[in-house]
A = this chain, B = another copy of it.
Amino acid sequence: MPDHIDPDAYVPRYYQLANILREQILAGNLEAHQPISSERELEKIYKVSRTTIRPAIDLLVRQGFLYREHGKGTFVSPPKLQKGISELTSFTEDMKRRGIVPGQKILLIGYVEPPEKVRFQLELGKHVQEVLCVDRLRLGDGAPMGLQTSYYNLPDGLSFTREELEEIGSIYALLREKLHLIPTEADETLEVTVASPHEASLLRVEAGSPLLLSQRTTYSQTRKVFEFAKILYRGDRYRYFAKLTR
C-alpha cells in the first residue's frame, strides 16, 4: 500500500488519499474517536491542496469511516459504523461478504410474455411482446437459501444463453462484461409471506413456512430500468442488513 500520492496516477488524487486513510483506519493505526491530522496538516503531509483533501474526507465520511466536528476536528468512527451500508449487490456478492459459498440451480431461462405487474415495473410499452426470464434456486453453502425469479428488459435484442450464465455464475457480471450494462441504483421492498407447496418443496421447508420476499427494480447507468427481480428467502436462513442515515 503506497503511503504517498502520485500526481500522475490514473486515479484522482482525492481518491488515492481516501484509500490511504482508509487503509490506516482498517489497519488499526488509528483508534476510534481519535482525531486524524487536520486538513491543513494533511496538505503538508501529502503535498496536495485542501481542495483535494476535502472530497477525500467527504468520501470516507459517507462510507462511515470518519466523522467531522466543526471547530474540533475529524475523527475515526468506531468499528461498528465502518461496515455495510445500503449497497447494491448481487446475491453472489452478498453471500461472499457473509462468508457463505454462493451457488445456484437454473430452473428456467428463456423468453416469456411478461405478467402485468412485470410489465409495469419494467416500464414496458404495450408493443413489447416478450422479455427474458430467469428462474433460479439460490444456494448458500450448498443448501437452498432462496428462490429467485428475474425479468430483464435488454437493449436491442441483446441476450445471453444458459451456457454463458452457467459459466460465469453471476448475471450482473455477465451483463457488465458482455452488454456493458452496469447496475447503479435500485429500489427494493421487503415483506413477509408464507411458502406455497411448490416453493416449499424447492426450498426444502414445510409448506406455510415464513419467507422473506424481496422485490427489486434495478436501474442501469443510463437510468433505464433493466431488471425486475423477486427473491423468496428462507426465513430461517436469511437476515437483511441496512445502514440508515439522517
Report how far A84 CA is from B245 CA in the complex, Å.
Answer: 12
**A223 touching B78 by the CB < 8 A rule?**
yes
Tally of contact residues, A, Cβ under 8 A: 44
Contact with B along A212-232 (1 / 0, CB 8 A): 100011010001000000000
CB-based contact A245/B190 at 8 Å: no
Check B246 against A184 for contact (C-beta < 8 Å): yes
Of B85, B86, B223, the residue contacting A33 (CB under 8 A) is B223
Which A residues, 182 to 197, have Cβ-Cβ distances below 8 Å to chain B? 182-194
Q: Binding site of A, secondary structure by majority: helix, strand, loop or mixed?
A: strand
**Residues on the B chain within 8 Å of A210, using CB:** 192-194, 210-211, 235
Decide: B192 and A192 in contact? CB cutoff 8 A: yes
Per the bound structure, the CA–CA distance linking A183 and B219 in Å amounts to 31
**List of B residues within 8 angstroms of A189 by Cβ:** 239-242
| Contact of B243 with A193 in the complex, beta carbons under 8 Å | no
Q: Which residues of B contact A87 (CB under 8 A)?
A: 244-246
Distance (Å) between the CB of A56 and the closest chain B CB? 14
CB distance from A25 to the nearest CB of B (A): 14
Partner of A242, one of B89, B193, B242, B245: B242
Which residues from chain B contact A81 at a C-beta distance below 8 Å?
185, 187, 219, 223
Contact A243–B190 (Cβ < 8 Å): no
Q: Which residues of A contact B (CB under 8 A)?
A: 33, 64, 67, 75, 77-78, 80-81, 84-89, 182-194, 210-212, 216-217, 219, 223, 235, 238-246
Known: A86-B244, A185-B244. 5 other contacts (CB 8 A): A81-B187, A89-B244, A182-B246, A190-B212, A191-B238
